[in-house]
Amino acid sequence: MRIVLSNVKLMINENVYLKDPESSALGKKILNESILLIKEIGFEAFTFKKLGQRIESNESSIYRYFENKHKLLVYLTSWYWSWMEYRLVFETANLTDPKDRLNKTIALFTEETKDDESTEHINEALLQQIIISDFTKTLLTKEVDEENRNGFFVIYKRVIHRIAGIIKEVNSSYPYPDSLASTIVEGALHQHFLKQHLTSITNCSDEISPSDFYLDLINKVLN
């Protein structure tokens, strides 16, 4: 199923950016090329100076959009979860059986993503790779409580709550729906990472996907 996103603007918390990057050509270039550059050299080595060189623009111009690279990463991850939320709502809309809805949901959040061609300035497949390697780092900081208060993670939290809600529809007496949802979403990212880099401690491979593992898991846990 192809999603039409052309007319939808994903809303990202305003505290994350100084100037909305979706409001200008340079801003979109920043999003687009930062994904490529972070994927290429890793988030730790990524700097605004290097990004500036790459987009043939100035370091200081990028600073007018984002205070620092951490906030740019929070922006990109928020965009990703917002896009996933949209897909979740869209792709489960016509499913009435809670079990179908749950299986579809788990598949969506544990599968590898293909690029969605309806957004030209974001390569979703590459963005998912960045989410796998770097999303957790946006949370694991000394500033997490303050940033959480400032709404940096609202979209992610909303996504987890939606999934927890679907879990409850299937089994309303299960006592840990939020923990199960957060464990699966975060765990799926981790299994993708292990599949790519630490293959010996996962059963996921070209034949077995994280989806297989988590679909099996959730059905056993909820029945």
Binding site for DNA (CB under 7 A): 19, 24-27, 45, 47-49, 56-61, 63-65, 67-70
* Residue nearer to DNA on the CB measure, 61 or 183: 61
Nearest to 21 by CA among 56, 53, 86, 67: 67
User: How far is 88 from 187, CA to CA, in rounded Å?
Assistant: 18
User: How far is 139 from 189, CA to CA, in rounded Å?
Assistant: 14
In the numeric block, which tokens belong to residue 28? 């979109």
Instruction: State the nearest-atom distance from the C-beta of 32 to its own copies, in Å.
Output: 21
Asked if 169 touches its own copies (CB under 8 A), the answer is no
* Residue nearer to DNA on the CB measure, 56 or 207: 56
Selection from its own copies, DNA, none that 157 binds (CB < 5 to 8 A by kind) is its own copies
Selection from DNA, its own copies, none that 78 binds (CB < 5 to 8 A by kind) is none
Selection from its own copies, DNA, none that 121 binds (CB < 5 to 8 A by kind) is none
Cβ burial of 66 (10 Å; 0-12, 13-18, 19+) is: buried
Instruction: State the nearest-atom distance from the C-beta of 70 to its own copies, in Å.
Output: 9
Instruction: State the nearest-atom distance from the C-beta of 138 to DNA, in Å.
Output: 14
* Residue nearer to its own copies on the CB measure, 33 or 186: 186
Answer whether 69's CB lies under 8 Å from 60's CB.
no
Angle at 195 between CA 190 and CA 197, to 5 degrees: 90
Which residues 131-150 are close enough to bind its own copies by CB under 8 A?
A: 133-134, 136-137, 139-142, 144-145, 148
User: How far is 114 from 52, CA to CA, in rounded Å?
Assistant: 28
**Between the CA of residue 35 and those of 29, 53, 95, 124, 179, what are the distances in Å?**
10, 15, 33, 9, 30
Nearest to 127 by CA among 90, 85, 78: 78
Query: For its own copies, what does the binding mask look like between residues 171 and 190, x meaning CB under 8 A?
Result: ----xxxxxxxxx--xx--x
Amino acid identity of residue 143, one-letter, is E
Q: Which residues bind its own copies (CB under 8 A)?
A: 41-42, 44-45, 133-134, 136-137, 139-142, 144-145, 148, 153, 156-157, 160-161, 164, 175-183, 186-187, 190-191, 193-194, 197-198, 200-204, 208, 210, 212-213, 216-217, 220-221
